């Protein structure tokens, strides 16, 4: 019989081997191409920030929690955002110093969500997921695509942010409903938001302790200093104004004062181990060495980092272009024009006549251009907003009008029904849209539609994706993890047409 000391050495060695095996890198290959490597970790502390409804303060809490954990605790935090979104992730990325990633169970399957979470939390101390809308709100009665569904996929405890405006004892009824609505979901605690005064906080805490037994992990007083400014599409993007960075500091200082950071970290540490095996998501093989230009400035900020990474994996060099200041188009093989707020910067875009002319000339010469939402607006002849008209690139035969209400909002499913420069006919794509603009004065004799809309609105309720020469301009936003072939399609087109279009195009005249 081995002695006790030898047995302890043996058991320690076994534990080390188990940890080593769990942390081993899964490296797999398939016909789709080289795969991202996902390091399997036995434990990832994590939280999901949810709420009973939208505009409860989830983003403010998430931004404040990130800022305070980084500044007060010295932690590295990986942010995530539930659902399709560009604006909230911009704030979370700025605070964390790491690219925020989106997790969406309508666009992505369970394996991709888990692989993304495990991949991007590598090297971080914990992951924080900001939810969207109400915790259980999804695309159907079963809550498909909800924040709760994401929390269950990654097995994360939920912290419920409750807007306590004009509410006292009723907070217990609200929280009680959320606690028992789905027994498979763990709600670790509550953060009280918009608390009026100390007496108000006492009443709220007493009600929750008496009827729910759920811990209160923070209580934030109401006040404008703890709110992020917003407008017609949601929050103001953090990249638009350097003054917004000061808002991050204010929110972080408030979070350090009003949130129980130690209790929140303990809740995150109570998450169970994620021991999923064999997870991966495809990274396409290189197609060719090309240069793809993107508008990357205050007006155009809507790019998923996974999309740019997928293009680079396919062999593309990303060339950043400032649509507000650069007077010419650099030597590129294609353009990828993402979304943003061109209406806010319409006067500056109009003033940059050189770039507008260069883009129009490049389109006429056949340069491949893939444009989403704001990019579509830039390619129009004119942009009309608040009784003013601004000249855009004039590359496509239509104008755009900004309305007071959303013209398309939510998930979109489109089918490639017509010939176009990028997407094979018959391909079905899950995407999303959120736009107040609509296409008007369209000359249908000069363009055709690429997509039939199966869900959503697109350009006219039936179609999306205008095709003109080598341009495809749509309201649909595509995520590379939902459409893994997208980057290959774009790079392949750029590589095929590069010999004709890789040159500098400069126009300086006023139009």
Site of tokens 């709760």: 148
What distances in angstroms separate CA 387 from CA 167, 208, 352, 400, one per listed residue? 42, 51, 21, 13
Whole-number Å distance between alpha carbons of 103 and 147 = 9
Angstrom CA distances, 316 to 76, 287, 296, stand at: 30, 9, 16
81: left (phi over 0), alpha (psi -120 to 50) or beta: beta
Distance (Å, whole) CA 196 – CA 175 = 19
DSSP string, 397-458: S-EEEE-SS-SEEEEEEEEE-S--SSSPTT-EEEEEEEESEEEES--TTS-EEEEEEEES-T
Look at residues 125, 127, 78, 80 and name the one whose alpha carbon lies nearest to residue 101.
80
N residues, the chain: 511
Question: Distance between CA atoms of 342 and 327, rounded to whole angstroms?
Answer: 17
User: Could you tell me which residues are beta bridge partners of residue 372?
Assistant: 474
Q: Is 373 noted as a catalytic residue in this protein?
A: yes
Phi/psi of residue 379, nearest 5 degrees: -75, -10
Cα distances from 307 to residues 68, 128, 169, 488, in angstroms, run 30, 22, 47, 11
Alpha carbons 145 and 151: distance in angstroms, whole number: 11
Q: What are the catalytic residues?
A: 373
């Amino acid at each position: 019989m081995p002695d006790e000391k030898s047995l302890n050495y043996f058991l320690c060695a076994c534990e080390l081997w188990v940890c080593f095996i769990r942390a081993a890198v899964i490296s797999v290959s398939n016909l789709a191409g080289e795969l991202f490597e996902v390091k399997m970790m036995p434990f990832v502390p994590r939280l999901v920030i949810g709420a009973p409804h939208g505009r409860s303060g989830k983003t403010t809490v998430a931004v404040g929690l990130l800022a305070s954990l980084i500044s007060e605790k010295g932690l590295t935090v990986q942010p995530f955002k539930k659902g399709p979104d560009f604006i909230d992730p911009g704030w979370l990325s700025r605070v964390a110093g790491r690219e925020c990633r989106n997790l969406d169970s309508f666009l992505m399957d369970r394996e991709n969500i888990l692989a993304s979470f495990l991949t991007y939390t590598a090297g971080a101390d914990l992951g924080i997921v900001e939810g969207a809308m109400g915790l259980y709100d999804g695309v159907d009665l079963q809550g498909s695509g909800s924040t709760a569904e994401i929390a269950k996929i990654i097995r994360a405890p939920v912290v419920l942010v409750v807007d306590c405006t004009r509410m006292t004892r009723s907070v217990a009824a609200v929280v009680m409903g959320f606690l028992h609505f789905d027994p498979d979901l763990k709600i670790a605690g509550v953060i009280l938001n918009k608390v009026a005064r100390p007496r108000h906080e006492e009443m709220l805490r007493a009600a929750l302790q008496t009827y729910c037994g759920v811990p209160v992990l923070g209580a934030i007083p109401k006040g404008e200093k703890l709110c992020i400014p917003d407008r017609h599409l949601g929050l103001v993007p953090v990249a638009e104004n350097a003054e917004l960075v000061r808002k991050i500091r204010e929110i972080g200082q408030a979070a350090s004062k009003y949130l129980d950071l130690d209790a929140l970290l303990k809740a995150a540490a109570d998450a169970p181990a994620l021991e999923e095996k064999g997870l991966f998501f495809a990274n396409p093989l290189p197609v060719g060495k090309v240069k793809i230009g993107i508008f990357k400035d205050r007006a155009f900020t809507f790019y998923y980092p996974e999309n740019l990474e997928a293009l680079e994996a396919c062999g593309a060099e990303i060339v950043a272009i400032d649509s507000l200041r650069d007077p010419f188009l650099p030597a590129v093989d294609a353009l990828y024009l993402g979304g943003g707020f061109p209406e806010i910067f319409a006067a500056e875009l109009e003033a940059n006549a050189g770039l507008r002319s260069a883009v129009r000339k490049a389109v006429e010469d056949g340069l491949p251009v893939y444009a989403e939402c704001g990019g579509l607006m830039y390619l129009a002849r004119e942009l009309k907003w608040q009784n003013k008209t601004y000249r855009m690139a004039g590359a496509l035969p239509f104008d755009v009008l900004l309305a007071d209400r959303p013209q398309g909002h939510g998930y979109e499913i489109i089918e490639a029904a017509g010939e176009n420069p990028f997407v094979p006919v018959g391909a079905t794509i899950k995407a999303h849209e959120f736009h107040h603009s609509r296409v008007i004065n369209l000359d249908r004799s000069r363009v055709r539609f690429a997509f039939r809309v199966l869900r959503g609105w697109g350009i006219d309720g039936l179609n999306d994706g205008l095709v003109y020469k080598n341009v495809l301009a749509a309201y649909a936003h595509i995520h590379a993890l939902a459409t893994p072939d997208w980057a290959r399609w774009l790079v392949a087109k750029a590589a095929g047409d590069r010999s004709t279009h890789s040159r500098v195009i400069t126009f300086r005249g006023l139009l």
